[in-house]
Amino acid sequence: MASQRLTLLSRIKDSDIYFSFIKSPTAIVSSVILVIIFFCSFFVEFVAPFNPFDPSSLSLMEAFTPPSWSEKGMTKYILGTDGQGRDMLSTILYGSRISLIVGFSAILFSLLLGVTLGLTAGYFGGKYEMIVMRLTDVQLTVPSILMALLVDGIARGIISRELHDEMAIYVLIFAIGISEWPQFARVSRAATLVEKNKDYVSASTIIGVSNILIMFKHILPNIMRPVLVIGTIGLALAIIAESTLSFLGVGVPPTTPSLGTLIRIGNDFLFSGEWWITFFPAIFLVLLAFSINLLGDWMRDTLNPKLN
């Protein structure tokens, strides 16, 4: 067992990905930031100093406390409090968890949809391929934020108002996911077109392996590299899209605020001088998106030099 683990570790150490990772300071810094953010968001109950959704921990008397380093700040609220006396740091961590969950789920959804369609389109070809590619072309001309807004608007019409708050997060995941899939479809189709003419596919066909098995067991692992690159950059886009929709007030309900919701709420206090309520969630969001983008840039250079 131990030796097996050792070989895996040494295999990772020997790989070109590890080498280029060690050589790239931006990749290291951005992934360290991301690991910290992911860790704090998923174990937020243990990390956050307060639970902003527990009414007993709130005190309205301490609302609008500025950050701890300013004159009126309190050391117990490092980044200050919002209009309801909630600790900003805790609220941001809880909010980033929502943003990350929505972002990951949306990108996973569009990855599954896009790769399935792209893979099958590239493999089977013919009319089916033409239709799928036409669809991606049409959808790529529609800006994704508009698409997501429309899906959200339609969902509001179909789902009754009482149910809507519960469903909002799923609607959001669907809306963002459906607006991002064409990228995955394009990339996986292009990669499949290259792969399907290789010898191992012909060999599998000759010995009678079924089409489904060939596609998902043999071709799929070989097209994952470009898909992962698109997925990383897409994650940043999905997180930004989620916060944008929440900022516009059509995203997650205010009872479970994401980063975008926090920025929108804080925006109302900007003019009265309480800048920290909107500033810190915004900085946090930018840091998150920027780190993912940097990592995505590095992945693109390393995993797939030919991808433009």
Residue 178 sits in the site that holds another protein (CB under 8 A):
no
Per the CB < 8 A criterion, the answer to whether 67 and 74 are in contact is no
Neighbouring CB atoms inside 10 A of 160's CB total: 9
Q: How far is the CB of 292 from another protein (least distance, A)?
A: 8
- The pair of structure tokens assigned to 34 is 């991301």
What is the nearest approach in angstroms of another protein to the Cβ of residue 273? 8
* Of 27 and 201, CB closest to another protein: 27
> In whole angstroms, how close is the CB of 283 to another protein at the nearest point?
9
Q: Choose the binding region for another protein from 9-17, 63-71, 184-192, 280-288 (rule: CB under 8 A).
A: 280-288
Q: Which residue in 92, 133, 265, 294 binds another protein (CB under 8 A)?
A: 294
As beta bridge partners, residue 87 has: 81
Please say whether the beta carbons of 182 and 230 come within 8 A: no
Residues in the interface with another protein (CB under 8 A) total 38
Helix (H) or strand (E) holding 27: helix 25-42
Nearer to another protein, 143 or 221 (CB): 143
Q: Does 165 bind another protein (CB under 8 A)?
A: no
One of 51, 244, 256, 304 touching another protein (CB under 8 A) = 244
For residue 92, state whether it binds another protein (rule: CB under 8 A). Answer: no
Q: Residue 61: how many CB atoms within 10 A of its CB?
A: 7
Reading phi first (left if > 0) and then psi (alpha if -120 to 50, else beta), residue 126 is in left
CA distance 242 to 238: 6
CB atoms closer than 10 angstroms to residue 45: 10
Among candidate residues 111, 128, 221, the one with its CA nearest the CA of residue 176? 111
Q: Is 115 in the site for another protein (CB under 8 A)?
A: no
What residues line the site for another protein (CB under 8 A)?
141, 143, 145-146, 149-150, 152-154, 156-158, 236, 240, 243-244, 247-250, 260, 263, 267, 270-271, 273, 275, 278-279, 282, 285-286, 289-290, 292-294, 297
